[in-house]
Amino acid sequence: MFGKTIRVIAAAAIAVSTATLSTGSSARTAFTASTSNTANTFTAGTGFAAGTLWTWGDTGDPTPSPRQVGSAASWTSAAVSGSWTCGIQTGGSLWCWGADNDQGQLGVGHHNTRSIPTMVGTATWSQVAAGGTHTCGVRTDTTLWCWGGADNGKLGLGDTTSYDSPQQVVSPAATGWATVSAGDEFTCATRTDTTLYCFGSNDSGQAGIGNTVTPQLTPVAVSTPSTTGWATVSSGYQHACALRTDSTLYCWGDGGSGRLGVNSTARFTSPQQVAGTWSVLSLGLNHTCAIKPDGSLWCWGAGGSGRLGLGDTASRLVPNQVGTIASGTWRTVAGASAHTCATKTDGTQWCWGENTLGELGLNDAVNRTSPVQVGTETTWSTSATGHSPHQTCSTKSDGTLWCWGDLRPATAQPSQVGAASTWRSAALGNAFTCATQSNGTLWCWGRGSNGRLGTGDTNPRLVPTQVGPATTWDRVTAGEYYGCATRTDTTLWCWGDNSQGNLGIGSTTQQNNPAQITSPAATGWASVSAGDNFTCATRIDTTLYCFGRNSDGQVGIGSTVSPQTTPVQVTSPSTTGWTAVSLGYRHACAIRTDQTLYCWGDGHAGRLGLGNGNGNGQPQPTQVPGSTWWAVSLGADHSCAIKTDGSLWCWGSGSSGQLGAGTTADQSAPASVGSATTWRTVSGGVRHTCAVQSVGTVWCWGSNALGQLGLGSGITTQTTPAQVNAPIGRPTFTGPRSNATAVLSY
């Protein structure tokens, strides 16, 4: 494709169709470029096969089968919560990673996302537990530490102050702690003298102290049936259970759906004995599972989505056996929000319950009401879930750690999409991706609400799913919650959210399947670009049409009449002469056949590039200073364009360094990105930018809060271009409403 005449490409750098670049044979040599940004060069990589598609950042594509966490083979245990994971490696080092670190629950000293494991201090740990918004752990010196959200005193520190690094629990004593379990808004822990203490929220009696006085800001002893004799404890949403040294099991707190296992749905503020003898215990959000000494597995409580593994979705008030001993003996069990996973003594892993985000690891999104084996491996050691997440992690006997389900964020470094090597183009919207293959098929995956995947429903797709049977798809673009694509017969189709008429079909009705745009004509479409609820497309006669939201003049028709539900022609500076268009959040830019550049719509932060300070909005195209523009791509609130001499220019909001100028200042006129003149394509995201140089090296800059730069988790903001360990060759793809990036390899 490159080294020849450039075709119009939507959702990446939009290039004038008559421009030509010469790359030479060196374009196929991985990471050999000599650039002016060598100080920001990251380690190059190999093994990127031609035609493969790689993504990183918040792609909205939950992982439906086990994926290894890093390359370490020294994990001993893990704890999982709604949006983050912590694990302990051989030697006792503690590592945490994940999204939504707003209360410091990762314990790394700040509130930034960590998309790969990050070490928590230098201490050695024996156990870690993850709650609703907090984390606790026991160190090898028998001290107890908690961090994150402190609502209701769940950190046990005597107050409700949140902390982003571990804080020691010193009551009733600084040392002597054995195990800990973090519930939603409360925590329980056992001590080496077999006493049990709980703290935090107690509105349902989950502290087990005989009353509902709440909150309990410091640890309070559980004294029923006696103060000693407690071996281990597990906490759920508003209930807790604990094993005693004589193998008896006691539960207390909210008894809804029978989760306490005592043939009642009543609330109990002190421990109640569950009939039988038990050896292993785990609580989900509102269900409980435990293993008996004979290896049989029993579950009770809420049965929705099949989480009890009993073949149906009914709740149970008392323990019911999962399968039979004849089918194998169970070794470990882990309950989550609405699913359960367990390992058997033969090393196999089994999961059941809710699977909407791939949390069962079965490579689909189908719920299961009975245990189903995960893969064929017989080397699984443990399972780890939490009472609220839609994800699962498990260690293998070789010390590797594997996770699946909703792993937010997906990855901070390039991760291959499937095994196909025939991808041709890609587009990234808000938590979803669409791409075309060389055989003309269209595939989408990620979140499915609003019909954004075009697959006929609103269900998420965990792996690329073909959109209809057509084999004539050409190029695809993605807006916030919708997509559009052209076909080789020059027809134009859109699908998904249509609340502002942004699908151009004359209505505001959501479309779960691609719908054809027939105005001003059914055929003759050349390229299309999707923004935030508005769309623009060029035609082969070089006319330009826009439709959808027009509250800021982003349709470019000289008014702010909104919405425009069918395509309206852009007539200024003339009706013809348009070759390519790119859309941002609420602004648009387009290149004309004379290589001039025009922008219109919302002018905040100077994103129109007109040099007028913060910038006034323009309801019709206004020329950007300069000439010989060759390619343009818009992020949410910024714009970037390449000139025919290969220089790269950006302007607009610089709040996260997305302009690549070394600062976070806004720019109201085009500013050169370094001095390199070897840029070939550029693509803007929400607050980041990625571009490819003539030898195929990939560079990204701006916000890395969700791993969208592909530079790993050690960088949160990059204000100048940094080379990514990514495939060489084809354009990078992101979008004005996307916090992710994709690249096609040669």
Confidence of residue 250 (pLDDT cuts 50, 70, 90): very high
Q: Residue 180: is its pLDDT beyond 70?
A: yes
Give the pLDDT confidence score for residue 69 in this predicted structure.
79
Give the pLDDT confidence score for residue 40 in this predicted structure.
35
Mapped to the 3 state alphabet, what secondary structure does 312-342 carry?
CCCCEEEEEECCCHHHCCEEEEEECCCEEEE
- Stretch among 46-55, 465-474, 595-604 having the lowest mean pLDDT: 46-55
Q: pLDDT higher for 636 or 44?
A: 636
For residues 507-521, average pLDDT: 98
Sign of CA dihedral 325, 330, 336, 340: negative
For residues 472-478, average pLDDT: 95
Give, rounded to a whole angstrom, the gap between the first and last alpha carbons of the chain: 10
What integer best gives the mean pLDDT of the chain? Answer: 87
- Stretch among 147-161, 383-397, 664-678 having the lowest mean pLDDT: 383-397
pTM (2 d.p.): 0.69
Convert the pLDDT of each residue in 287-310 to its tens digit. Answer: 999 999 999 999 999 999 999 999
CB distance 487 to 475 below 8 Å: no
Distance CA 357, CA 72 (A): 26
Confidence of residue 422 (pLDDT cuts 50, 70, 90): confident
Q: What are phi and psi of 604, to 5 degrees?
A: -55, 145
| Count of Cβ atoms closer than 10 Å to residue 478 Cβ | 32
Give the pLDDT confidence score for residue 67 in this predicted structure.
75
Judged by DSSP in three states, 175 sits in: coil
Q: Residue 740: is its pLDDT beyond 50?
A: yes
Give the pLDDT confidence score for residue 111 in this predicted structure.
83
Convert the pLDDT of each residue in 88-97 to its tens digit. Answer: 999 999 999 8
Going across the sheet that includes 368-373, the strands are 330-335, 339-344, 349-353, 368-373
Confidence of residue 744 (pLDDT cuts 50, 70, 90): low
DSSP H/E element including 382: strand 380-384
Geometric angle at alpha carbon 57, from 733 and 699, rounded to 5°: 55
Confidence of residue 408 (pLDDT cuts 50, 70, 90): low
